[in-house]
Amino acid sequence: MTQTQDATRTRTFGWTDPAEHAHLLGRRSGLEILRAMATGELPPPPVMHLIDGEGMQVEEGAVTLTLEPREFHYNPLGSVHGGILSTLLDTAAACSVHSTLPAGVGYTSMDLNVKFLRPATIASGKLTCAGTVLQRGRRTALAEARITDAAGRLIAHATSSCMIFEI
């Protein structure tokens, strides 16, 4: 982000071809793909560039993402927009499901139920969003995700149902 003398703010970003991930779905497990993204072997998906997402930690059934709140995340009230927080929650919850899937099996979010508990701002420090699988069957999975600020305070939490299908 750059700022000029007249207080105009701009932001430019790039991303890699999302097909780079899609072609791996039949060849690598979800855990392998996510770990490759976490280590930098594979680039993050375009949405992470859009929101300026930072790190990722991956274990089977659990994914943690981080985001440093920036001014460009703000809503008109001066706090991080709920859509940004929801994107983090959806990503962490759904990726936790992805981490349990074998090669050739995909997923999609069916719903996301979000509760916002306190505002997040630049002063909140780095946000950590941890997703965990609660239950996984053959066709559906239930996951949750929680966002905490740098002081460990709960900012928002969500539950998500995902549909599981063969690719």
Is residue 3 a part of any domain in this protein?
no
The H or E element containing residue 34 is helix 30-39
In sequence order, the 6+-apart residues with CB closer than 8 A to the CB of 3 are 9
pLDDT tens per residue, range 99-126: 999 999 999 999 999 999 999 999 999 9
Is residue 96 a part of any domain in this protein?
yes
Is residue 13 a part of any domain in this protein?
no
Q: For residue 119, what pLDDT is reported? A: 98
Q: How many CB atoms lie within 10 A of CB 135?
A: 9
Q: For residue 5, what pLDDT is reported? A: 54
CATH of the domain at 123: 3.10.129.10
By residue range, what is the domain housing residue 102? Answer: 21-166
Is residue 128 a part of any domain in this protein?
yes
Counting other chains too, the contacts that 136-144 makes at CB distance below 8 Å and 24 or more residues apart are 136/97, 136/100, 136/164, 137/164, 138/164, 139/163, 139/164, 139/165, 140/110, 140/164, 141/97, 141/100, 141/107, 143/93, 143/94, 143/96, 143/97, 144/93
CA distance 2 to 50: 16
Is residue 117 a part of any domain in this protein?
yes
Is residue 10 a part of any domain in this protein?
no
Q: What percent of the chain has pLDDT over 70?
A: 96
Is residue 140 a part of any domain in this protein?
yes
Total number of domains constituting the chain: 1
Is residue 136 a part of any domain in this protein?
yes
Give the pairing type, strands 62-67 and 56-59: antiparallel
pLDDT tens per residue, range 27-45: 999 999 999 999 999 998 9
